[in-house]
């Protein structure tokens, strides 16, 4: 088997999503090469060469690839697919933009957002917003895959693969980059945050919420509160998570000093991972928490901020 | 300019999905079906282009069983001028959908095709890109803003970490992201009018497209249930679990 | 806030298989109208309701409309929802096509109203009263009045109100005191009206009040009341709102529920009289109002259905998620697993389904009447008149029981406002009171609808029920259904016989007589539903999960609700005996 992984980068730094994707490629097995297509991206190629387990880094360094426009990337990857059995890209907006078209040009299917490799031709992927997991077998000679990075660990970076330049230049002339805006990294909104840390009546007062903010800063998390904390006047009610507040479902929800009233649980029970920190070990919140820590929050929350 | 807009019939987003007992798929028997929400945004965008005088005709297309005509009627009630239904009982993989759409594009010669970025059933996010590749039209995927200036389109795309604006030569393929617009509701008078708008039915054979099987579903399973929680001894263990077991930080 | 999903399978089943709407449409070759269309319209209605009305329901409860100066400001957010409501054309649904309406069947209007009322009763009352104003002007107004007001009421650009009640004229409208005088070619209205729902708000640039008033030359009593159109703003030559009319909102009531719906004390003619336009003929106003009453009263029954469905969905969601106690093996249990919670949920489910069957059945009669020949019309009108007090009185009383059960399922959490179910209990409480209390409905049924025609109409319905009992013979397990329905039918026949023999005791037995009819009609329609579901299953058509659940729900209804006819009959037979036996003084004998 011969696999090509399309690297995710910004012409400067290799993105970690590439490392998860290489892991998926190595699980499939066989020869794994990485393509770094970009502009002025030599340093990325050098970073990619250090990925453990890969045989080669292909570098297509040309202004045409600077912004990874699909119209230019697709023919390049199609050309490099000769002799390959698998083409993998991380399921980032860039990977999702490019890979389906590559598959179409090769007259093969594209399998999106795989979360596990069952065999060289069989993969698992979530469907129906993760409410079901499909095991999909590819019948095509070339498997074109995008990889959900959370499904795979990052591969180690301790290798030294050779770097090989690719001369092909594809510039369709049909599309042109104009501008980009990078979102300023202030604290995220409750409803869209990937991580939320919320405080309850156990916080004691509003000032103590700064303990949570210290953790939130480390995690890029939003800060929420239970109704009890809002009613007690600790914080404003736009921070309230619960049936009558905001309904949230982040990847990680950390409930601090929250006992777990039904109204609160209704607002956050669909979170992927729930952590509860409470000194009352009978607090109902523990019944739905994946990880419970029975402790005094004033001791452990600062520790948490420190250790993250 | 003619705008082609695609419409997929999917399980209603409110319906709780149940995996079939034999793991062959998801139980769609007698469940509520609706227009894919991303397609609603696509239809809305097409109608707005028409209202702005940019588009002259909006043609809605759907592929699938006869029941898809319900969603096409909805598109007509929302403001599409006519509809094309490619009727087939076959399960269609994205590439086959893209090939059939490419054929319709060849026949209709639209200035623009708008598709939802993904459907909420299979979550593939690929048909628009495949259609672009097959037709050679440039693509503006995950669009949150589309501006047409004569023979160029400015498409602002929702990309990881921000927004990217690209300029494309018309004709183009666009796929919609959530923030592109807020779809309207069909009004009662328009629901009534929609019944009189033309809806053409075509078959796969008529379009002369050969469908190929590229992949097959081996099984469909319910995701693992939330495991019974554990208690951790201290912060160090908690951080370790979050990093290495749950992998959320 | 609990979620709401339109029970579309139920609605479609009732429309298609219980009422055979499609056969009806075909028979009258209604162009383009059929159950596919109703399904599409209902799906759109649900979308609007869930996205615009659901959240505002709570908002309206917490932040009631308020009065500032003499202007009423509605709950924030209502205006936006109302604009969207009219943008989608909902007020025009069943209105006449001649003035921009869609001319769609009343049945569909009833089914849509259910959705508005499930999601936001307080909001829904505004367009509902508009429907009343539309009907009044369309059926009784002059061509000039129609030209001026109808199109904008139908489009929803203006809203309408109904001004009947006064401080001294509630259930007895003969006591109306508001005056109308004909001065210099104009009618000038003056007086005070109370309980005027949505009497003022800022959502539209005009409000069209329909006001009952008495002219100086009017005979005393009910025959001397005239109906006037009194706009908030008088129209200019182009028909646009211009000068302020002499009317204002004096105060708002502080109510137990439906806080989002402003209930106004309206004052007309504080200065030199509010200008009004006579609807139809002088002194006939009450008659015009009564011609709309069947519709309005049935509408309140539908409100009960709407809230009951909502409360049921909330209780169901809660029961499925709330963990309490452990089974013998030590596993934790959700309360939906407990038999008594199941019983309560089944009460709500079956009660709501029976109500829906009755409300739609009765609402559909209006369409049948509209399509019928002149000779048939009066017979159908008689049916509608008979059904109206039952739909209003029985559905809304049953609603009290069902929303209360919903709270019961929540336990202590339900009594806390935050859970949301308390609002349903409070909102629902008005339903047995307005548009004629249950007592008024019951008297209507005993006297005007039964004694007056010597139970002719009642016996017509008995025949139809007997036919269903005969039809039940096709079922394998016919025994319980047909036996239960036969028993209930016998109870009703005995009650009618008793009433005819003791007409002077009508007032004493009226409440039980009404309830008996309600449970019987619900049971009859559930039996018909059972048959229809069974036939669908035989054909292997439709959704077997849904249809089998329907069979069980019908069975539950017969076991737990239909049997109540026995108790009603027993109380009826007791007559006035103990009810009227105490002297007024004896009521105080325990304290004096």
A99-147: per-residue pLDDT in tens?
999 999 999 999 999 999 999 999 999 898 778 999 999 999 999 999 9
Q: Provide the angle, in degrees to the nearest 10, between the axes of the packed helices C285-321 and C121-140.
A: 160
For the annotated catalytic residues of C, the residue numbers are 435
Per-residue model confidence (pLDDT) at position C477: 61
Q: Which of B232, B243, B36, B1 is nearest to B111 (CA)?
A: B1
Q: Mark residue C260 as left, alpha or beta (left: phi above 0; alpha: psi -120 to 50; beta: remaining).
A: alpha
For A288-306, the pLDDT digits (tens) are 899 999 999 999 999 999 9
Q: Is B220 on the interface with A (CB under 8 A)?
A: yes
Contact B188 C43 (CB under 8 A): no
Contact B166 A67 (CB under 8 A): yes
Q: Is B50 on the interface with A (CB under 8 A)?
A: no
Q: What is the dihedral of CA A275, A279, A281, A284, to 10 degrees?
A: -60
Q: Which of A59, A67, A116 is nearest to A93 (CA)?
A: A67
> Residue C485 in contact with residue C558, Cβ under 8 Å?
yes
Q: Taking the mean position of all CA atoms in its chain, how far away is CA C15?
A: 18
Q: Which two tokens stand for residue C91?
A: 């007020």
Other C-beta atoms closer than 10 Å to the C-beta of A268 total 26
Q: Provide, as residue numbers in chain B, all residues whose Cβ is less than 8 Å from the Cβ of A74.
A: 133
Q: What is the mean pLDDT of chain A?
A: 92
Q: Counting one residue from A and one from C, how many pairs have CB atoms under 8 Å apart?
A: 14
Q: Please tell me the number of Cα atoms within 13 Å of B88 on its side-chain side.
A: 19
> Residue A184 in contact with residue A228, Cβ under 8 Å?
no
Return the SS3 of A75.
helix
Low-confidence ranges of chain C (pLDDT < 70): 1-2, 476-478
Partner A, chain B 60-119, Cβ-Cβ below 8 Å: 93-95, 98
Residue of chain C whose Cα is closest to the Cα of B31? C543
Q: Provide the angle, in degrees to the nearest 10, between the axes of the packed helices C35-48 and C106-119.
A: 20
For residues A299 and B21, give the distance between their C-alpha atoms in angstroms, rounded to a whole number: 48
User: Which DSSP category does C116 fall into?
Assistant: H
Q: Provide, as residue numbers in chain C, all residues whose Cβ is less than 8 Å from the Cβ of B74.
A: 40
Q: Is the per-residue pLDDT at B226 higher than 60?
A: no
Provide the whole-model pTM.
Answer: 0.86
Phi, psi values for residue C410, rounded to 5°: -70, -20
Polymer length of chain B: 249
Helix ranges, C280-394 (H): 285-321, 339-371, 374-389
Task: Report the gap between the CA of B70 and the closest CA in chain C (Å).
Answer: 8
- As for the ipTM of the complex, it is 0.91
For residues A111 and A139, give the distance between their C-alpha atoms in angstroms, rounded to a whole number: 11
Q: Which of C2, C8, C12, C47 to mutate to test the interface with B (most CBs of B within 10 A)?
A: C47
Strand order in the sheet with A291-294: A222-225, A195-199, A252-256, A273-278, A291-294, B230-232
Q: Is the per-residue pLDDT at A183 higher than 80?
A: no
Positive/negative CA dihedral, A149, A150, A153, A158: positive
For B161-172, the pLDDT digits (tens) are 679 999 999 999
Per-residue model confidence (pLDDT) at position B207: 96
Q: Mark residue A89 as left, alpha or beta (left: phi above 0; alpha: psi -120 to 50; beta: remaining).
A: beta
Contact C44 B191 (CB under 8 A): yes
> Residue A44 in contact with residue A57, Cβ under 8 Å?
no
Contact A112 B235 (CB under 8 A): no
Contact B187 C89 (CB under 8 A): yes
> Residue C348 in contact with residue C308, Cβ under 8 Å?
yes
Place of tokens 């009960």: C304
Q: What contacts C404, CB < 8 A, 6 or more positions away?
A: C425
Q: What contacts B230, CB < 8 A, 6 or more positions away?
A: A290, A291, A292
Q: Which two tokens stand for residue C82?
A: 């109302």
Q: Which of C127, C60, C450, C90 is nearest to C299 (CA)?
A: C127
| Helix or strand holding residue B191 (H, E) | helix B188-194
> Residue C532 in contact with residue C505, Cβ under 8 Å?
no
Nearest-CB residue to B130 (from A100, A122, A303): A100
Per-residue model confidence (pLDDT) at position C331: 84
Q: Which two tokens stand for residue C398?
A: 């049953």
Task: Report the gap between the CA of A258 and the closest CA in chain C (Å).
Answer: 18
Other C-beta atoms closer than 10 Å to the C-beta of A99 total 31
> What would the 3-class secondary structure string for C2-42 be?
CCCCCCHHHHHHHHHHHCCHHHHHHHCCCCCCCHHHHHHHH
Place of tokens 């001369």: A167
Contact B188 C543 (CB under 8 A): no
Contact B185 C92 (CB under 8 A): no
Q: Counting one residue from A and one from B, how many pairs have CB atoms under 8 Å apart?
A: 235
> Residue C312 in contact with residue C320, Cβ under 8 Å?
no
Per-residue model confidence (pLDDT) at position C1: 45
Return the SS3 of C388.
helix
Cα distance between the two ends of chain A: 40
Q: Which two tokens stand for residue C62?
A: 């917490």
Q: Provide, as residue numbers in chain B, all residues whose Cβ is less than 8 Å from the Cβ of A178.
A: 154, 165-167
Q: Which of A128, A142, A151 is nearest to B217 (CA)?
A: A128
Polymer length of chain A: 308
Tell me which of A238 and A166 has the higher pLDDT.
Answer: A166
Q: Which two tokens stand for residue C477?
A: 């397990």
Q: Provide, as residue numbers in chain B, all residues whose Cβ is less than 8 Å from the Cβ of A287.
A: 229
Q: Which two tokens stand for residue A103?
A: 């598959």
- Where residue B17 falls among pLDDT bands split at 50, 70, 90? confident
Per-residue model confidence (pLDDT) at position B227: 61
Q: Which residues pair with A254 in a beta bridge?
A: A197, A275
Nearest-CB residue to A243 (from C1, C322, C323): C1
């Amino acid at each position: 088997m011969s696999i090509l992984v399309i690297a995710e980068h910004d012409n400067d730094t290799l993105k970690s999503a590439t490392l998860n994707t290489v892991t998926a490629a190595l699980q499939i097995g066989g020869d794994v090469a990485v393509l770094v297509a970009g502009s002025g991206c030599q340093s990325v190629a050098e970073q990619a060469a250090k990925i453990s387990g890969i045989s080669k880094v292909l570098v297509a360094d040309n202004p045409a690839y600077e912004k990874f426009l699909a119209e230019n990337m697709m023919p390049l990857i199609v050309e490099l697919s000769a002799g390959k059995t698998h083409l993998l890209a991380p399921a980032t907006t860039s990977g999702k933009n490019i890979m389906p078209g590559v598959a179409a040009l090769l007259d093969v299917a594209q399998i999106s957002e795989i979360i596990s490799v069952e065999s060289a031709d069989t993969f698992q992927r979530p469907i129906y917003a993760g409410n079901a997991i499909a095991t999909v077998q590819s019948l095509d000679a070339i498997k074109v895959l995008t990889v959900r990075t959370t499904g795979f660990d990052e591969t180690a970076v301790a290798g030294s693969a050779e770097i090989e330049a690719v001369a092909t230049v594809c510039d369709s002339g049909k599309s042109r980059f104009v501008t980009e805006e990078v979102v300023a990294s202030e604290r995220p909104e409750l409803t869209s945050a990937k991580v939320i840390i919320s405080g309850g009546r156990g916080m004691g007062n509003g000032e103590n919420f700064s303990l949570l903010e210290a953790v939130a800063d480390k995690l890029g998390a939003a800060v929420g509160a239970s109704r009890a904390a809002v009613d007690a006047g600790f914080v404003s009610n736009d921070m309230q998570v619960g049936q009558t507040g905001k309904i949230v479902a982040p990847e990680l929800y950390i409930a601090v000093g929250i006992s777990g009233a039904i109204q609160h649980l209704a607002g956050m029970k669909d979170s992927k991972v729930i952590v509860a920190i409470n000194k009352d070990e009978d607090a109902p919140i523990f019944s739905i928490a994946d990880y419970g820590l029975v402790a005094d929050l004033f001791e452990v929350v600062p520790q948490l901020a420190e250790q993250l | 300019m003619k705008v082609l807009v695609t419409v997929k019939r999917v399980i209603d987003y409110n319906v709780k999905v149940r995996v079939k007992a034999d793991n062959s798929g998801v139980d769609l028997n007698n469940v509520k079906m609706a227009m894919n929400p991303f397609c609603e945004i696509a239809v809305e965008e097409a109608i707005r282009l028409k209202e702005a005088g940019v588009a002259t005709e909006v043609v809605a297309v759907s592929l699938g069983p006869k029941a898809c005509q319900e969603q096409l009627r909805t598109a007509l009630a929302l403001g599409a001028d006519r509809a094309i239904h490619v009727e087939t009982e076959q399960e269609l993989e994205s590439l086959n959908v893209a090939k059939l759409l490419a054929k319709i594009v060849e026949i209709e010669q639209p200035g623009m095709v708008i598709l939802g970025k993904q459907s909420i059933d299979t979550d593939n996010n690929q048909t628009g890109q495949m259609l672009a590749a097959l037709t050679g039209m440039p693509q503006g995927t995950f669009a949150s803003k589309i501006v047409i200036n004569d023979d160029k389109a400015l498409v602002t795309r929702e990309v990881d970490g921000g927004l990217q604006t690209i300029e494309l030569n018309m004709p183009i393929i666009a796929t919609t992201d959530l923030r592109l617009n807020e779809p309207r509701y069909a009004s009662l008078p328009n629901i009534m009018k929609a019944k009189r708008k033309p809806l053409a039915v075509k078959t796969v054979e008529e379009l002369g497209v050969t469908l190929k099987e590229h992949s097959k579903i081996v099984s469909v399973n319910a995701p693992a249930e939330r495991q019974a929680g554990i208690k951790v001894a201290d912060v160090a263990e908690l951080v370790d679990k979050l990093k290495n077991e749950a992998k959320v930080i | 806030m609990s979620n709401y999903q339109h029970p579309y399978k139920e609605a479609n089943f009732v429309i298609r298989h219980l009422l055979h709407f499609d056969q009806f449409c075909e028979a009258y070759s209604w162009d383009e109208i059929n159950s596919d269309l109703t399904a599409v319209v209902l799906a759109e209605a649900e979308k609007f309701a869930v996205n615009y009305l659901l959240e505002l329901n709570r908002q309206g409860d917490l932040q009631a409309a308020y009065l500032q100066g003499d202007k009423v400001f509605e709950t924030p957010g209502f205006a936006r929802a109302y604009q969207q409501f009219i943008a989608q054309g909902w007020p025009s649904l069943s209105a006449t096509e001649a003035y921009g309406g869609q001319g769609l069947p009343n049945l569909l209007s009833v089914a849509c109203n259910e959705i508005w009322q499930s999601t936001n009763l307080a909001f829904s009352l505004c367009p509902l009263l508009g429907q009343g104003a539309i009907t009044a002007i369309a059926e009784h107004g002059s061509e000039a009045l129609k030209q001026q007001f109808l199109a904008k009421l139908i489009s929803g650009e203006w809203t309408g109100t109904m001004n009947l009640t006064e401080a001294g004229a509630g259930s007895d409208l003969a006591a109306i005191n508001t005056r109308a005088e004909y001065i210099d070619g104009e009618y000038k209205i003056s007086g005070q009206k109370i309980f005027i729902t949505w009497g003022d708000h800022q959502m539209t640039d005009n409000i069209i009040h329909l006001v009952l008033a008495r002219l100086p030359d009017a005979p005393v009593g009910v025959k001397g009341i005239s109906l006037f159109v009194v706009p908030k703003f008088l129209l200019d030559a182009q028909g646009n709102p211009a000068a302020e009319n002499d009317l204002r909102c004096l105060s708002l009531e502080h109510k137990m529920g439906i806080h989002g719906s402003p209930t106004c004390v309206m004052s007309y003619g504080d200065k030199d009289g509010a200008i009004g336009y006579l609807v139809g003929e002088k002194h006939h106003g009450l008659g015009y109002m009564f011609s709309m009453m069947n519709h309005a009263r049935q509408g309140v029954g539908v409100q009960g259905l709407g809230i009951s469905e909502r409360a049921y969905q909330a209780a169901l969601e809660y029961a499925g998620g709330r963990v309490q106690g452990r089974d013998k093996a030590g596993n934790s249990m959700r309360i939906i697993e407990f038999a008594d919670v199941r019983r309560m949920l089944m009460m709500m489910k079956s009660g709501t389904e029976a109500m829906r069957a009755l409300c739609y059945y009765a609402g559909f009669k209006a369409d049948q009447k509209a399509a019928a020949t002149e000779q048939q019309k009066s017979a159908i009108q008689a049916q509608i008149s008979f059904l109206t007090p039952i739909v209003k009185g029985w559905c809304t009383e049953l609603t009290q029981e069902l929303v209360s059960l919903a709270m019961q399922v929540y336990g202590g959490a339900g009594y806390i406002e935050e859970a949301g179910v308390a609002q349903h209990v409070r909102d629902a409480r008005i339903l047995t009171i307005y548009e004629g209390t249950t007592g008024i409905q019951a008297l209507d049924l005993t006297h005007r609808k039964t004694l007056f025609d010597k139970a002719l109409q009642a016996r017509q319905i008995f025949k139809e029920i007997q036919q269903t009992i005969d039809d039940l013979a096709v079922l394998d397990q016919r025994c319980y259904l047909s036996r239960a329905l036969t028993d209930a039918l016998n109870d009703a026949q005995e009650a009618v016989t008793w009433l005819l023999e003791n007409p002077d005791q009508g007032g004493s037995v009226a409440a039980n007589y009404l309830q008996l009819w309600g449970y019987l009609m619900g049971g009859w329609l559930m039996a018909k539903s059972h048959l229809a579901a069974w036939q669908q299953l035989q054909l292997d058509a439709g959704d077997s999960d849904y249809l089998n659940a329907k069979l069980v729900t019908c069975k539950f209804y017969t076991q737990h609700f239909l049997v109540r006819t026995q108790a009603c009959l027993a109380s009826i037979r007791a007559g006035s005996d103990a009810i009227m036996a105490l002297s007024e003084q004896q009521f105080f004998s325990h304290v004096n």
